[in-house]
Amino acid sequence: MILKQNRQSNRTALVWATSFWLAAHKLSRNNLYRLFGLIWIEFCLQHDTEIERHIREACATLRYSIWDKPQNYAFLVWVQLHLSAKKNVSVEKLWGIINQQQKITKHDRAYLYLLQAYQATETQSNLVAYRDFMTAVSCIEVIEQHEVSSEFLIIGLSVAIRLSMHTYIVKFSQLLTDKFNQQPYEPHNMIKQIWLKAQTTKINESKSAEYKYALQLVKQKQFLNAGKVILSLWPLYRFDITLARCIVELYARGHLDLYITDKNTVIEARWVFETQDLKPNWYLTLKSKHAVLNKPLY
């Protein structure tokens, strides 16, 4: 009941903010801070008719402004991917419209990989989405290091939620919470916090005890029972590196009783290691001993 009241209160606050900011925007359309705020609010409220016009205005004026940064390009592209008319348009094409076909930098590319991962989730191309997501994360850690933008974390969180990657959902949610608390003047902090609160309701902690139990069964060499529990956990902890290793090893050694639906789980678990540039030695050794791990993934 309290949660429902909080959501209603947040929505009411956003509606009031929209009316005031729209009135101000009509008087002066060159304020990008206010324009991005409007887009954020309309995105949270799902006001599609207004948001498309405001996105066009932002795209037209963003270049060479103080907001001319990769994270702001990424935000505009990400919002457009939620619109039915744009969700199937190439990410690079949408990006090119904003940056006026300028050369794409390494910094840009990190965001493009993340956006491509998000777009891949639209067609349930989980392997592609995971590969691009991990590439984006690796790139951004090198480029932005300890100052990863809230936009990267927000888009990354949305990808993690769609892929049911529990570890990254918790990690990115916490990083965003810390950022908003420690940097109260982060652009559109309050609006982003409202969005984040809506997402954190999707975090499911109820399986954490079962996760620990599954790993305990593996240590006790109760492989058949461990396999059953791990397979049941995978839809929530998809692409979790620890569970992926367990699945790969149990599968190679014949300890998994697989149904048709579980075969895709094995493919996803193998993909965690196949997408690594430097594959772990244990995985390469296992592949050399078990032919089943050398079958094409797709």
Q: pLDDT tens digit string along 12-58?
A: 666 666 777 777 777 777 889 999 999 999 898 877 678 999 999 99
Residue spans of the domains in the chain: they are: 2-200, 208-294
pLDDT over 90 at 297, yes or no: no
Mean pLDDT of the region 88-114: 91
The model's pTM: 0.90
The mean of the pLDDT values for the chain is 88
pLDDT in tens, 77-90: 999 999 988 989 99
Lowest mean pLDDT segment, chosen from 69-78, 139-148, 229-238: 139-148
CATH of 2-200, one of 1.25.10, 1.25.40, 1.10.10, 2.60.40: 1.25.40
pLDDT over 50 at 1, yes or no: no
Q: What is the percent of the chain where pLDDT is above 90?
A: 62
- CA angle (171, 175, 118) in 5-degree steps: 65
- Helix (DSSP H) and strand (DSSP E) numbers for the chain: 15, 0
Under DSSP, is residue 237 helix (H, G, I), strand (E, B) or coil? strand
The count of other CB atoms within 10 Å of the CB of residue 112 is 23
pLDDT over 60 at 202, yes or no: yes
Mean pLDDT of the region 101-117: 92
Q: Which residues contact 269 (CB under 8 A, 6 or more apart)?
A: 234, 243, 244, 245, 247, 248, 251
Residue-level pLDDT at 5: 46
Question: From CA 92, how far away is CA 113, in angstroms rounded?
Answer: 10
Residue-level pLDDT at 208: 81
Residue-level pLDDT at 2: 39
